[in-house]
Chain A
Amino acid sequence: MTTVHIPFLQTGTLAVGGRLLDDAQRSLQSHADRPSSLTKGHRACQGCAEALAARWVMDTAVEAAGGRLVVANATGCLEVFSTLYPESAWKPPWVHSLFANAAAVATGIAAALHAQGRDDIRVLAQGGDGGTVDIGLAAVSGMFERNDDVLYVCYDNQGYMNTGVQRSSATPASARTATTPAVGRNPGQAFGQGKSMVKIAMAHEIPYVASATVADLRDLEAKVRTAMSIHGARYLHVLVPCPVGWGANSAESISLSRAAVQSGIFPVIEARAGELTDVQRIRERAKVEDYLRPQARFAHLFRPGGEDALERWRVLAEANIRRYDLLGGAS
């Protein structure tokens, strides 16, 4: 997709209506014949960013594959809310096997299709942060290092939301979960824990790694298109706010995603073969508080005694801004 610079005709928003673009440049979702791969009737919660992201990812991948896409899905919210027998919200051929093995199942599908001479059919695997960063990491890493022809998408809602909001290794520091309660001297998830799946993916030097959020769906769409234009192992990490798990208003999933990016908390990047190739700059800098305050899981940060944790958040955001040059202009 080519990038077009157009003037803002609206105020108070960074979003530009699709109607201002030529038809060919509008999003896939603005077209009546969009694939609707994840179709209506599923049981996702109100404001679920995972459902929104999955719809954009899947539709874009289906279109990019010319309709020839097979999907392997890890256990988790996405699977549970979409496939309670005898109903299914999925239009493409779709398989769920287990929590930890979506990447390996996808490898098996890709191997079978290759053996059958059906290299025209593309394979996508998807799961949440639990199925990707924690229990499924070995299978994901194996798929990466073999450079299997699979696009793996992680919808990161930063915890085990399907089982009742327990801590995962993608849960951010200081966040309250059911297993990291906001009590004691260091309430919530401990600082210094957790891991960056984006960096882990980059360390495998696979052809393509990218992060995205639901605050910029055109960016998400473009990254899926880029990923689908490449063969080999590809990884897309999408931040998806969970109103239930984060203790946020279900109308705020988009604005929270935007605040995560604009505060420097969630870097939106692209990398090829382990090298950082693109970074989404901060356009209108937000404070870390803009991201943290609307979420009940961080409520203790805004009570007396929370100042140190807030300061540590600022340090984390600054580190990201430095590391990825999120404000631009680094020499």
Chain B
Amino acid sequence: MREVLEGSQAVARTVARCRPGVVCAYPISPQTHIVEALSVMARTGELANCEYVNVESEFSAMSVSIGASAAGSRAYTATASQGLLYMAEAVYNAAGMGLPIVMTVANRAIGAPINIWNDHSDAMAMRDSGWLQLFAADNQEAADLHVIAFAVAEELGIPAMVCMDGFVLTHASDVVELATAEQVDAFLPPYRPTQVLDIDHPATLGTMAGPESFTETRYLQHLRFLDAAAVIEAWSDRFREQIGREAGGLIARYDPDTLDRDRGAPPASSTDLAVVAMGSVVGTLQSALAPLRAEGVPVRLLSVGAFRPFPEEALRDALGGSRHVVVVDRALELGSGGVLTGCVGRALAGTGSHLHSVVAGLGGRPILEASLRDVVRRALVDEVGSLEFLDLKPGIPTPALGATEVAR
């Protein structure tokens, strides 16, 4: 059934259909609407056999999720920004313990200065935590990704973050079609933990590992992460087959002319300029780039669906040695450039592509279509340097903005 729903409601209803046993959260904007809705469903019984736990901090929210997952229940939480950082220690811990918790991150900037609006700084701060990080382009994908995330996480024993842009998606109403309870039940197997606190088979979880075993522990975690790419693709394929929509996957390709998502779209060519982005700005780009294509500008669009594991190979193939690669980046690695750009750069090492980091939309600054078109036009004639801040206000002291070479 197609319906108009706020992004948070779409996510909450979909999460409920995944039948979590424990939902535990601490309020922080812009994640609140999701967990408010889940708390109501747990209280009314619409979400059956589920404990909703109100806790005193995000640190405890993740810790309760760890306990619940270790005790054999499907566990879900949601957070953003400062909350994600406040739970950071437990975020790493959940991954190290192999507990497949699913967490929505309603992406938001990190202070100081305090700012409640959207960028990707929060998720990027946890990029090496050992969690899968799946980014949603719109509300439909945000909802669908949760079903996929539980399946992928539980098959791998790796926790998963579903990242959706705060306010831009969480608080925006859009037409969506939610996976029905029947569809989710047919798609998502029951949670069968690989290790669990079981009185009949007692085990010690979370032991100390000394120098003689720690490296191997991390290496095995790394191997699981290498497996994750294929597992993400497989569950995304299964979702399309069973539920009939494109969602998830390592990267998304777009038709060169319509700019609609198209898994069969050909790779970019060496004469193209490719724009790479992640999250809701993909929608802005679809709209912004269409007029350029109409003018015959050789611009292509690609989006990253899985930031962790980072799809280096898939991205390199899809970019096809494009002469220019513009990364629209919503998180900044201070003194260096965009965070996504750094990862794309590693994927493109040796290909000869010119990489341009366009840092945009920090702290909720709107990303304007005209500004994106302007960057693409200038990049095509080599007028964009390796790092540019989109729509930086005039009057800010800066050396030769637009052609700044940043030492790496």
Contact = CB atoms under 8 A, between A and B. Distances in A.
Contact of A67 (B24, B199, B210): B199
Contact of B53 (A88, A95, A138, A146): A146
B57 interface: yes
A104 B199 contact: no
B95 to A, nearest CB: 12
A146 B12 CA distance: 24
B221 interface: no
Contact of B206 (A86, A97, A111): A97
Interface in B172-221: 197-199, 202-210, 213
Given A97-B63, A97-B93, A138-B60, A115 B49 contact: yes
Contact of B213 (A68, A85, A106): A85
B207 to A, nearest CB: 4
B222 to A, nearest CB: 18
Contact of A139 (B21, B63, B65, B89): B63
Interface stretch (B69-77, B160-168, B277-285, B360-368): B69-77
Best-buried of A88, A101, A107, A108 by chain B (most CB within 10 Å): A108
Nearest to B196: A93
B49 A98 contact: no
B73 A95 contact: no
B387 interface: no
A195 interface: no
A131 to B, nearest CB: 12
A95 B206 CA distance: 6
B241 interface: no
Best-buried of B22, B54, B66, B71 by chain A (most CB within 10 Å): B71
Interface residues of A, number: 43
A105 B21 contact: no
Contacts of B60: 101, 104, 107, 138-139, 142
A104 B87 CA distance: 12
A116 B204 contact: no
A94 B202 contact: yes
B126 interface: no
Nearest to B94: A97
Interface string B12-35: 000000000110100000000000
A114 B51 contact: yes
A322 interface: no
Contacts of A91: 202
A85 B202 contact: no
Nearest to A125: B67
B50 to A, nearest CB: 6
Interface of B: 21-22, 24, 49-51, 53-57, 59-60, 63-73, 75, 89-90, 93, 97, 197-199, 202-210, 213
Minimum-distance CB pairs A-B, first 9: A108-B67, A104-B63, A101-B63, A112-B73, A108-B64, A88-B204, A96-B206, A112-B71, A105-B67
Interface of A: 67-70, 72, 79-80, 83-86, 88, 90-98, 100-101, 104-117, 121, 138-139, 141-142, 146
Given A111-B73, A116-B72, A116-B73, 11 more contacts: A70-B71, A92-B202, A95-B204, A97-B67, A97-B93, A101-B66, A104-B60, A107-B63, A107-B64, A111-B68, A115-B51
